[in-house]
Amino acid sequence: MRPRLPVRRIPLLRPFRPPNSPTLRPFTRNTLARPNLPYLSNSSQRPTARFLTIETKQWIKDEVKKGMKYTAYIYTFLALGCIITFGVYQERFERQYHPPPEWSWVTRYQWKMAMHAEDPENEKLAFVDYANTGSIYQLLIARLEDPNGEGAGLQEQGEGGILVEGVGRTGFDISNKSEQWRRGYYGALMGAARAAEHLDDCVKDPVRRLMFPKSVVPGPSNPHPRPIPPGAETPSREEDCEKAFESPETFYMRILTTKGFTEKQRVDAALAYGAWLDFKGTHNTAMEMYKWAMDIATSSSTSTKPVVDTATGTIDPNAGPISANVLSVATAIAVHHALCSNLALALPVFISILRSRRSLPDPPSNLQQQPAPDEGDTSIAKTIASFIHTVFVVPPYPPPPPDGTEPPQRTSQELCEEAGVMTNIGEILFASKSSKTSKEDGLAWTREAVDIAEEELRTKRPDKDAKKTCRQCLEVAMGNWETMIARLAREEREAKAQGGKVGGWLGFGGEEQKDMAGRWESEENVVKERRRRVVELLEVMPGPKRTSILSV
């Protein structure tokens, strides 16, 4: 009998279910067969399903962790990118505006922001917000004069300092400070003075912390205010406002009474203050300020006789080479006489200045055409080496500028200054007398000024400061030339329309040339062509102006 094999029973195994199965997983499953009676069950009821299973919870946790991790990564990289961008910009401003290295980081940062807000080469700058720059300069000056901070070591001139009515505290004694610190302090005071000039006609609402021009603020002194630009803030009432900024003389007098500034710094401050007084119409006070500037400029002269005639302001032709400060003050005095319509006093002063400038020494021959470093070398290796050197090597602090006590050399900048004097002489000659000879002389001076400025810009390759001076001179001379020629050409056309003889000499031969273009009409076409030729040498036109309440 064959033995019976044992029967192996295979247990019921739970079927495998793939993860993330789209099918619903019921809580219970009927394993026993039983009748489904209609009266014991609801045919419309669906089986209850588990939507949050163990696998689903684990997947949600993983997704949340991934999202938090990626979010942390993204924000970390964004923060690092912002820090790097801020550092790159600060390094760029550090090399562009050169704050004194001994200042603290906050003081240097304020200096760079104020300088950047006033930089005329800033392409994104549509207008200068002097309310903002003035506040920055005030904070900067306060930090520099703080005896417990940047101003450690400042000494009062006199016990407790000197107070002047209407001006405030006079300057300190900063002789023990470094030249770099003094230069930065001077720049902060001059920047505050510029802001004070532009905000002189503004008031401030201390509650709203807004500034408005006086002309738009309604009040007893201004019953009919001017309308404001669209989108600007509504002006406050006059009784709710106060003076927006300190007076410009506060900062100018601070510079003039500070001990430790150079002669040129004090002369420049005095000339700027005199120009401000001329702008305000107080010409007598402005002339006194120019005389004070001349006293400062001649204080370092070793000549036994006066360099400048105090009565007329002309420079002595036998005084020898004249210092740069004396030339600057004499030019300001001549411009002052011209503004006051004293052309008989202004013309001799301009002529003496031109004579003195033409007697200045020429620069050494090895400096006249000094090429720029690595000029003409366009190899890739030199370019890469120059880039690496620029990025990783900190440039030295700029050397101190001349103090103005020595005679300048006839460089490109001085030649353009000479052309500017010639432009003024031509304008005075053209406007002072109505004779034909005087107008032609003025026109000839103006033409020569245009030729000198254009030649310097095209052939001499001046530096940044000289190029700025030459561009300004060329623009003013071209404008004067166009105005003069337009006036003469108009008179010529009017004479031709009245039947006059145009083009003849002493009245002979004029009838034949009646239909031909006259002398000034022909030169008018020459001036238009010259304008098209020099437009590439002039500065780029500024971008569109944004609407500002302070520009009303």
The Cα 12–Cα 30 span in angstroms is: 15
| Contact of 357 with 417, CB cutoff 8 Å | yes
Say what the pLDDT of residue 20 is: 55
Give the pLDDT score at 542.
Answer: 43
Q: For residue range 431-470, what is the model confidence (pLDDT) as tens digits?
A: 876 677 888 899 999 999 999 999 888 877 677 888 888 8
Q: Where are the domains of the chain?
A: 263-345, 411-498+518-552
Per-residue pLDDT band at 519 (split at 50, 70, 90): confident
- At residue 181 the predicted structure's pLDDT band, cuts being 50, 70 and 90, is very high
Q: Which residue has the higher pLDDT, 136 or 518?
A: 136
Higher pLDDT among residues 550 and 72, named by residue = 72
60, 78 contact by CB (below 8 A): no
Reduced to 3 states (helix: H, G, I; strand: E, B; else coil), residue 281 is coil
> Is the model more confident about 141 or about 551?
141
Mean pLDDT score of the chain, rounded to an integer?
Answer: 82
Q: How much is the average pLDDT of 4-21?
A: 56
One-letter amino acid for residue 77 of the chain: F
Tell me which of 218 and 40 has the higher pLDDT.
Answer: 218
Parallel, antiparallel, or unpaired for β 242-243 and 202-205?
antiparallel
**3-class SS of residue 483:** helix
pTM: 0.79
* CA-wise closest residue to 452 among 436, 437, 466: 466
* Distance between CA atoms of residues 299 and 256, nearest Å: 14
Mean pLDDT value of segment 508-531 = 73
- Identify the band that residue 265 occupies on the pLDDT scale cut at 50, 70 and 90: very high
Placement of tokens 């410009």 in the chain: 248
Tell me: the pLDDT tens digits for 62-96?
999 999 999 999 999 999 999 999 998 888 888 88
3-state secondary structure of 134: helix
- The distance of Cα 527 from the centroid of its chain, to the nearest Å, equals 31
Question: Would you give the DSSP letter of residue 2?
Answer: P
Q: What is the DSSP letter of 187?
A: H
pLDDT of residue 374 exceeding 60? no
Q: For residue 232, what pLDDT is reported? A: 85
- pLDDT number for residue 464: 80
Q: What is the pLDDT of residue 504?
A: 46
Q: Cβ contacts of residue 391 below 8 Å, gap of 6+? A: none
Higher pLDDT, 98 or 52: 98
In percent, the amount of the chain with pLDDT more than 90 equals 39
| pLDDT over 80 (residue 528) | yes
Binned at pLDDT 50, 70 and 90, residue 39 comes out as low
- Write out pLDDT tens, residues 241-262: 999 899 999 999 999 999 999 9
- For residues 216-240, average pLDDT: 88
Residue 392 pLDDT grade (very low, low, confident, very high; cuts 50, 70, 90): confident
Tell me what the mean pLDDT of segment 125-142 comes to.
90
> Which has the higher per-residue pLDDT, 162 or 120?
120
